[in-house]
Structure 1
């Protein structure tokens, strides 16, 4: 049996002057979060799909890395990840790149083993797999 999560979106009006809202009814974390043309393609306050993809990817990868480090006998003290999602406008909007940048404090592990485990987490976290059509890079730093 799997797990199912959901979110809802509502849009009113045309693309440029219209407005939208996003909600996550199960958790209630997003409840009518505002998004629109200028929150996606400009600097107006509100969210956008790319930001939400970045949050999902950072969260999924970080949990996967913690799990894989623990399985290898090196439970982390901390893992901090930033995901950057690029939206290219060439030939129409498309996700063109994702960069994962992670820093972790992991006792008793060497840099080579840490990087190998981090790369495995990048390849195999469910969000990475779902986004496999987009080039995903990883910078992994082991903190002393």
Structure 2
């Protein structure tokens, strides 16, 4: 009887953890879809709402490290000054890995389809749950 009770408790805890993980993963996938939609509207400010609005936000790209939300937005505006440069964004999410209750790690590929020439690369993101909301705290895109 005790063994059966223990087994039932383990199954319940496993199911609860799995459900929480899939809920978090779905929220993160929705966050990335929000980014795609904002980008494809040409709305960099809306795109940036998925990032941590902090001076501690870290963005690593081909020109090195940029710190802070404002610096990252300015960098995007400089690199993508108009909708022709922005093109149409799509993501191929390769992995969403929950590191803890507060952190998730995402690896994927980004693609821009543009009239001036398509480009693509890979990214890895570290997300943190802050005040019940997942935000990107570190972005390494190449």
Q: Which gives a bigger RCO, structure 1 or 2 (Cα 8 Å, sep 6+)?
A: 2
**What band does the TM-score fall into relative to the shorter chain?**
0.3 to 0.5
More helix by share: 2
